[in-house]
Amino acid sequence: MRPLTTTRTEDRTADRRRARRTAETAGIGWKLLLLKITVLGLLNAVCVYAAMVLFFNERWLIGTLVVVSGALLTWIYFQRGALPAKYLAPGVVFLLIFQVFVIFYSGYVAFTNYGTGHNSTKDHAIHAIMLQTQDRVPDSPTYQLTVIERSGELGFAVTTEDGEVLLGSAEAPLEAAPGAVVQDGRVIEVPDHEVLSFAELVDRQQELTSLSVPLSEDPNAGALRTQDGQRAYVYTSRFVYDESADTLTNTASGEIYTDGGEGAFVTPDGAEVMPGWRVNVGLENFVRAVTEESIRGPLLYVTAWTFGFAFLSVATTFVMGLFLAVVFNDARMKSRKYYRLVMILPYAFPGFLSALVWAGMMNQEFGFINNVLFGGASIPWLSDPWLAKLSILIVNLWLGFPYMFLVCTGALQSIPEELTEAAQMDGARPFQAFRQIKFPLLLVSIAPLLISSFAFNFNNFNLVYMLTGGGPRDIEAGINVGSTDILISMVYKVAFVGSQSDYGLASAFSILIFFIVGTISVIAFRRTRALEELN
Amino acid sequence: MTVNTGRITTMTALLGLGALALTSCGSGDGSGDAGAAEPADSETTESEAAESETTDSDTTDSDTTETEGGEDAASGSLTIWADANRAEVLTDVAEDFESDTGITVEIVQQDFEEIRDQFVSQVPTGEGPDIAVGAHDWLGVLVNNGVVAPVELGDAAAEFEEIAVDAWTYEGQTYGLPYSIENIALLRNTELAPEAPADFEEMIQMGEEAGTEYPFLVGLDPNESDPYHLYPFQTSFGAPVFGTAEDGSYDPSQLSMAEAGGEEFAGWLAEQGEAGVLNLNIDGDLALESFNDGNSPFFLTGPWNVTGAQDAGIDVAVDPIPAAGDQDAQPFAGVQGFFLSSQSENVLAASNFLINYVGTAEVQTALYETGGRAPALTESFEQALSEDEIVAGFGEVGAEAVPMPAIPEMGAVWDDWGSSQAAIIKGDGDPVELWQKMSQDISSAID
Amino acid sequence: MAQSLRTATHRTPRPGPAEPPSVSRRTPTRRRPFRRWFSQTGWRHLVGIAVVIFAAFPLVYVFSASLNPGGTLITANTLFGNLSLRSYVDLFNLPRQPFAAWYVNTLFIGFSASAGSVMLGALAAYAFSRMRFTGRRFGLITILLVQMFPQLLAMVAIFLLMLSIGEIFPAIGLNSQIGLIMVYLGGALGVNTYLMYGFFNTIPVSIDEAARIDGAGHARIFFTIILPLVSPILAVVALLSLVATLSEFVIASVLLRDPEKQTLAVGLYQFISQETSQNWSIFAAGAVLAAIIPVALFLGLQRYIVSGLVAGSVK
């Protein structure tokens, strides 16, 4: 570590200090050292174990990362230098795992078609298609089933409605079984076969439920299958999957579906079988994000309102929070404790509850605001395009000012009172003294918070969604975008229409929005640099 | 407030979606099986051991006679997602099942509204359950995502109310074991209106004669109206949302409400909005409260609000929904049921549990008693009908009901449908034009 | 949290005067003429009353709803028309909604996450404030930028991550409160670090220097000298993180599955999330009780938040 300022005095005392430090380390340091070794030892044990499990599961990349980070942490704490790293490492570890990962993961999803109908692997998709397209032959009878086994191979012994007993297995179509013993319409004994108990069935249930016993030599006659091990039904498969050719064939029409490379089986003329699976689609989501009709139309309007909303939210909450912090930062005032206490209440309440209460209070006909405050007026707080905007800002002010109040109070505490007093003694009026002395100092610590509050409100999906749902919607537009929609809520509506979701598209939007907000913030940081360097 | 809550629900469901399988990037092998096969800690082993002895005595259910007894109890396990109300009933059933079969059942309590999205996202990771509770109108999404497997009810299908099985049938396959049917009906405060109204006009007239604040109540939303609650009026103008295909299921390519009946209904909406009978500012909570305070003789709502009204001291009768047009007023029916994961590795145990345990009259009745909605099993349904006037009232209306469409595009349809209705009721333009605009938007959303 | 701060203060090698002189000097005399009283503090009360009305009014609705079993949230015209504690009693007697367990869980998760965040954040803020190293500016801006990523899709990634972690260490994976706390700690470096950083900057470096000359190592300077001096901001950050944790709903609902393990936000939400069985009154009662936690913490920390400690000791 390099000291901030080096003076001559320090140079001279440097040796003495080093000596003293060594002595200190030797004196009380061994306990700390022991602690350090224990903690790092544990950490390393955990890392090694995790890495072993990961390698065992052939997850090489993550395993290697674990090993490398474990080694890095050990190195950081076991050498003399890199003091900043010692202080930063604990927070950074969590930051990397739980926050940075999210960003990279979204980045990855943005290049896939992940969403409704494409939410798993190809194997899962094929499995699901095959399951969902087993059609029970209409009006076919129920067969009372007994599951039997011979030399490890499962088979079905069934009784038909007219009392006939049939035997079959995956390889051997059903045929009469003369020697079988039937009781209460169900086979209980078959020569040369073992009858399986329920418990044995449960143990082999996957084998059993995928077993299909052909009805006859004719494959189109269908096959017996069972779900519960007690009854079998005749099914025909709508599709046959050919593993070597990787194609699905429709058994009725003979149409062949191939893997079209876009995460689904398709026919040459474009018919798809759902579900599909996840594949990389390159930049497609980004292209859609900028060309999608439902986005492009209202984009300008929504972007403008997003900026307006974010800026005004920060401005109103900050002004109010700061004002209150200053007002209640006067030691002469009695009982300010209680005011402060009430003021943090909006912050302490669950946000969704607050939004619901406000929505109720803003009801045009029955809400408290119209009924009591405005004496029965009929002001459409939430259904007029402009008033809805105002309402959102009011509610956001209510939700957000306690935070600004707390933060400003905290920051004001860091500014020595003497500065103001000195200025006041020099004849400055209180407000002037505040504006010229305290305010710039306050901004030093608050400015980054304001920027980040801006970013937060830029993406303040919850408030918009819960209070107005983005509405009121312009019914003529034909696009489900309302006058209080901000970018993120518009994205939500486009990517998650009803119950359909398109995570790929939403991720692409997230990345784009992140770039917008990030760029603005970086610029803002640069502009506040002057302020920051005051210290 | 109904719609607002709906909004938070969908939002949190989508936000809290859990995950997809990043199996493509992680390990393709191994991890999946481990996750699904052993979902739970083995705290149950003790009780299991104790129970296996009692299993020697005959089991109650004849269908499970294959259970040989304790000496070779099966070692499987089942995971079920259910909401709090269902979880309670299922716990008892699960105990029976465990003692009969030796298969342990873990019931994971989930928020009902979140189950769909959690299921869609977690099944592919191998973290999903074997069985979950849900509503039939989720089917489109579940099937398109390949996360549900058909359940063959076999002969048992005939023992259920027809509408229940129909609702759980999607593209020709039955995907679940239904347990309850719900639909809206007209609640009447018998003190304020002694007789059931014959049609909408008569109801309004009776409401006005009662001298209460509102002639009639239905919960709407200022910006999104409520097409679900207004649907019976719409059908009474002969304007069902979709046409029906040959097999009786919906055919989304025929948007029947775009036809003349729909436009007539639009005109009616505008009139009622103008007259103040339909008031967008009265949301579900306000409507409930006003009805409970005796401020209106009529309230169009579901069975879920009956208890509240009775607690408030209202003597409630359930009536058929009065038609506004010249045809019958058919509400939507929602059917709740249990469905099976396509990635379940315990299909045998799961389907046994569903068909032989949950499908019994005893369980269906128990589910009805905690949920208050008409049971889907005919035997329990009739029993409930004969025992309880309220259920009978809803059941009678339910006989006219049609299942809510389950196609995945319904989300978009509800959006357009609702905001157009709201605009019409508010009087923001010509009702017929708005309705036509809506029809076009919906058609293009579905294609 | 409060306890540890308090003891830390007592160990401060150079404690501030019991009462900051700047404050005591200005302590008002008992009898002031009204006009003077008004211009000095009276108007502040007016502001206070206005703000209290603005802040508390919507919550009065909630409180009123909690006393009106079976009622709804929008009882605008009949505030406190009914006064019954039944919802509060019911709240603790629901077999499937273990409210008491939620409360304890929330306290545990909230306080752990908040203490952890303060610690991690303070460590980082100290490094940023006192040390000069390559990437310092970049690091400062990065931790803010990372938080700006739209969180709409974060759950997908976090669920997946916890799923993988749980495969290796089940104790900190899905359905584990420790795991949830760890996720919350992921946000420890962020806005709050910046807040602390700004505050650290106002503590003169000469204090560190003096301590170093006295032979104190960096760890000792940080823990025994700097931390007590910055206690106001630590208290603010502790409160901010606690409130954030308390109202956090989305991550907790996905990660914690057992009703016994869930937090208040998740549990309470179940009372109103089902359209068909909403129970506003019980929900409101639960929310009122939940709000006691941050309020109590605020009361406990208030004197650190507004202590004037720095003004008294740093000159």
What are the pLDDT digits (tens) for A127-179?
Answer: 888 888 888 887 788 888 888 888 888 888 888 877 788 888 888 888 877 77
Contacts of B405 in chain A (CB under 8 A): none
Which residue of chain B is at minimal alpha-carbon distance from A273? B144
- Rg over alpha carbons for chain C, rounded to the nearest Å, is 23
Count CB atoms within 10 A of the CB of residue B58.
10
Tell me, yes or no, if A25 comes closer than 8 A to chain C by beta carbon: yes
How far, CA to CA in Å, does B161 sit from each of A107, B319, C181? 49, 21, 48
- Determine the Cα–Cα distance for residues A48 and C200; give it in Å rounded to an integer: 37
Q: Over pLDDT 70: what percentage of chain C?
A: 82
**If you average pLDDT over each of A181-185, A385-389, B24-28, C77-81, which comes out highest?**
A385-389
β-pair partners for B109: B82
Candidate from B72, B146, B415 with C-beta closest to A498? B415
**Cα(C201)–Cα(A408) distance, integer angstroms:** 16
Confidence (pLDDT) at A20: 56
Both tokens of residue A123?
Answer: 């194997």
For chain A, say whether B344 makes contact (Cβ under 8 Å): no
Radius of gyration over every alpha carbon of chain B, rounded to an integer in angstroms = 23
Interface test with A, best of B63, B145, B421 (most A CBs within 10 A): B145
The beta-carbon neighbor of B75 closest among A108, A203, A275 is A203
pLDDT in the model for residue C31? 62
- Pick the most confident of A188-197, B419-428, C88-97: B419-428
| Peptide bond preceding A472 in cis form (omega within 30 of 0) | yes
pLDDT value, residue A391: 93
Q: How far is CA A459 from the centre of its chain?
A: 14
Query: Cα(A308)–Cα(A301) distance, rounded to whole angstroms?
Result: 11
Higher pLDDT, C32 or B153: B153
Q: Which DSSP letter does residue B357 get?
A: I
Whole-angstrom Cα distance, residue A449 to residue C192? 8
Give the pLDDT of residue A281: 87
Which residues are CB-contacts of B211 (< 8 A; sequence separation ≥ 6)? Answer: none
Contacts of B239 (CB under 8 A, 6+ apart): B256, B257, B259, B261, B262, B264, B265
CA distances from A377 to A70, B265, C31, C93, C297 (A): 66, 31, 46, 43, 41
Q: Which of A91, A90, A104 has the alpha carbon at shortest distance from A61?
A: A104
**Domain residue extents for chain B:** 45-182+334-403, 184-331+406-446
pLDDT reported for residue C306: 66
**Per-residue DSSP letters for C23-90?**
HHHTPPPS---HHHHIIIIIHHHHHHHHHHHHHHHHHHHHHHHHTSTT--S--GGGTTS----HHHHH
Q: Is A256 helix (H, G, I), strand (E, B) or coil?
A: strand
Angle between helices C43-66 and A385-413 (to 10 degrees): 120
In B, residues 3-32, which contact C (CB 8 Å cutoff)?
5-6, 8-9, 12, 15-20, 22, 26, 31
pLDDT at C171 over 90: no
Question: What's the whole-number mean pLDDT along residues A346-359?
Answer: 80
Give residues with Cβ within 8 angstroms of B16, minimum separation 6.
B114, B117, B118, C155, C250, C251, C253, C254
Tell whether C207 is within 8 A of chain A (Cβ).
Answer: no
* Residues in chain A within 8 Å Cβ distance of C45: 333
Residue C307: its pLDDT value, please? 57
Residue with tokens 């009447």, as numbered in its chain: B188
Q: Strand pairing partners for A214?
A: A223
Residue C306 lies in a domain: yes
Q: Do B84 and C96 make contact, defined as CB atoms within 8 angstroms?
A: yes
Task: Flag whether pLDDT at C12 surpasses 70.
Answer: no
Q: With an 8 Å Cβ cutoff, are A359 and B342 in contact?
A: no
β-sheet bridge partners, residue B186? B300, B319
Q: Do C61 and A492 touch (CB under 8 A)?
A: no
Helix extents (H) in A28-173:
29-56, 60-78, 83-95, 101-109, 122-132
Domain covering A135-273 assigned CATH 1.10.10.10 in the classification: no
In this structure, is residue C302 part of a structural domain?
Answer: yes
Whole-number Cα distances in Å, A125 to A198, A259, B36, B37, B55: 30, 12, 17, 20, 40
Upstream peptide bond of A275 is cis (omega within 30 degrees of 0): yes
Least confident piece of the model among A265-279, A463-477, B201-215: A463-477
CA A138, CA A10: separation in Å to the nearest integer?
95
Separation in Å, CA C250 to CA A352, B6, C247: 12, 16, 9
Judge whether A497 and A524 are in contact, CB under 8 Å: no
Look at the domain A8-109 and name its fold. Answer: Methane Monooxygenase Hydroxylase; Chain G, domain 1 (1.20.58)
- Gap from B413 CA to chain A (nearest CA, Å): 8
Minimum distance, in Å, between the CA of residue B244 and any CA atom of chain C: 29
Outline which parts of chain A fall under CATH 1.10.3720.10: 289-532
Nearest to C275 among B2, B12, B114 (CB): B2
Q: Which two tokens stand for residue B56?
A: 């020697």
Query: Which homologous superfamily does the CATH classification assign to the domain defined by A289-532?
Result: MetI-like (1.10.3720.10)
Contact A502, A116 (CB under 8 A): yes
| Domain membership flag for residue C154 | yes
- Which chain B residues are closer than 8 Å to C82 by Cβ? none
Mutation for C interface: A5, A65, A76, A94, most C CBs within 10 A: A94
Confidence of residue C19 (pLDDT cuts 50, 70, 90): very low
Chain C: residue whose CA lies nearest to A327: C44
| Candidate from A342, A363, A441 with C-beta closest to C55 | A342
Please answer whether residues B302 and B182 qualify as being in contact, where contact means their C-beta atoms are separated by less than 8 angstroms: yes
Residue type, C77: N
**Domain count of chain C?**
1
Class of domain B45-182+334-403: alpha beta
Measured between alpha carbons, how far is C87 from C92 in angstroms, rounded to an integer?
9
Q: Is the pLDDT of residue A4 over 50?
A: no
Would the CB atoms of A24 and C216 count as touching at under 8 Å?
yes
Q: Which of B342, B345, B432, B447 to mutate to test the interface with A (most CBs of A within 10 A)?
A: B342
Q: Spell out the residues 6+ positions from residue A106 whose beta carbon is closer than 8 angstroms to its own.
A: A507, A510, A511, C149, C153, C154, C156, C157
Query: Which residues in chain B show pLDDT less than 70?
Result: 1-75
Burial of A386 (0-12, 13-18, 19+ CB in 10 A): exposed
C269–B84 C-beta distance less than 8 A: no
- Rounded to the nearest integer, the mean pLDDT of chain B is 80
Cβ distance C74 to B1 less than 8 Å, yes or no, reads: yes
Nearest-CB residue to C152 (from A342, A402, A488):
A488
Q: Say whether B311 and C167 touch across the interface (CB within 8 A).
A: no
- On the question of pLDDT at C280 being above 90, the answer is no
Largest CA distance in chain A: 116
Q: Is the pLDDT of residue C315 over 70?
A: no
pLDDT at A127: 84
Nearest CA among C228, A237, C84 for reference residue B311: C84
Which of A9-23, A328-342, C63-77 shows the highest mean pLDDT?
A: A328-342
- What pLDDT is attached to residue A17? 57
* Contact state of C275 with B311 under an 8 Å Cβ cutoff: no
Q: Do C118 and C199 form a contact (C-beta atoms < 8 A)?
A: no
**Residues C135-151: what's their mean pLDDT?**
85
Q: Is C32 within a domain?
A: no
Average pLDDT, chain A: 81
> CATH number for the domain including C292?
1.10.3720.10
* Angstroms from A206 CA to nearest CA on chain B: 6
User: Which tops the pLDDT comparison, A240 or B7?
Assistant: A240
Min Cα distance B391 → chain A (Å) is: 31
The three-state secondary structure class of B132 is: strand
Q: C153 and A354: CB-CB below 8 Å?
A: no
Judged against a pLDDT cut of 80, whether residue C4 lies above it is answered with: no
Percent of chain A with pLDDT over 90: 7
Which residues on C lie below 8 Å from B31 (Cβ)?
167
- Contact, A83 vs C131, CB < 8 A? yes
- Residue-wise pLDDT for A426-454, tens only, equals 777 777 777 777 888 788 778 878 888 88
Q: Across the B/C interface, how many CB contacts are shorter than 8 Å?
A: 105
List all residues of chain B from 130 to 169 with a beta carbon under 8 Å from chain A.
Answer: 138, 140-141, 143-152, 154-155
Best to test chain B binding among A120, A136, A154 (most B CBs inside 10 Å): A120
Where residue A477 falls among pLDDT bands split at 50, 70, 90?
low
When pLDDT is cut at 50, 70 and 90, the band that residue A349 belongs to is confident
Chain A neighbours among C 91-130 (CB < 8 Å)?
119-121, 123-124, 126-127, 130
Q: Cβ contact (<8 Å) for C186 and A360?
A: no
Asked if the Cβ–Cβ distance from A410 to C233 is below 8 Å, we say yes
Q: Greater confidence, A343 or B298?
A: B298
- Residues C170, C175, C179, C183: is their CA dihedral positive or negative? positive
Residue B141: Cβ within 10 Å count = 26
pLDDT of C274 reads: 64
Spell out the CATH class of B184-331+406-446.
alpha beta
- Measured between alpha carbons, how far is B268 from C153 in angstroms, rounded to an integer? 43
CA distance A288 to B86: 43
> pLDDT (tens digit, 9 = 90+) per residue, A26-81?
445 677 778 888 888 898 888 888 888 888 888 888 888 888 988 988 888 887 77
Q: What are phi and psi of B131, to 5 degrees?
A: -130, 145
Q: Which of C175, C276, C281, C282 to mutate to test the interface with B (most CBs of B within 10 A)?
A: C276
Domain membership flag for residue C78: no
Establish if C15 belongs to a structural domain: no
Report helix, strand or coil for B424.
helix
Amino acid letter, residue A339: Y
Q: Measured between CB atoms, which of A127, A135, A469 is closest to B172?
A: A135
pLDDT tens per residue, range A478-523: 667 888 999 888 888 878 766 678 888 888 888 888 998 889 888 8
Listed in sequence order, the DSSP H helices in B38-111 are 45-54, 84-101
Structural domain of C113:
2-10+94-313
Question: What mean pLDDT, rounded, does chain C reach?
Answer: 78
Cβ of B415 within 8 Å of Cβ of A233? The answer is: no
Please report which confidence band the pLDDT of residue C188 belongs to, taking 50, 70 and 90 as the band edges: confident
Q: Which amino acid is at B90?
A: L
Nearest to B352 among A125, A228, A482 (CB): A228
Of A23, A339, A348, the CB nearest to C243: A348
Identify whether the C-beta of residue C288 lies closer than 8 Å to the C-beta of residue C66: yes
> C 279-308 residues with CB below 8 A of A?
283-284, 287, 290-291, 293-295, 298-299, 302, 305-308
Number of H helices and E strands in chain B, helices first, is: 18, 16
* C-alpha C173 chain-centroid distance: 25
| Longest CA–CA separation in chain B, Å | 75
Q: What pLDDT was estimated at residue B190?
A: 92
pLDDT value, residue C74: 61
Chains that touch C (3 or more CB pairs under 8 A): A, B
Q: CA dihedral in degrees (C253, C257, C259, C263; nearest 10)?
A: -30
Q: Do C283 and A353 touch (CB under 8 A)?
A: yes
Domain ranges in chain A with CATH number 1.20.58 = 8-109
Torsion sign (Cα): B350, B352, B353, B358: positive
Helix and strand numbers, DSSP H then E, in chain A:
21, 16
ipTM score of the complex? 0.81
Rounded CA separation B138/B123 (Å):
15
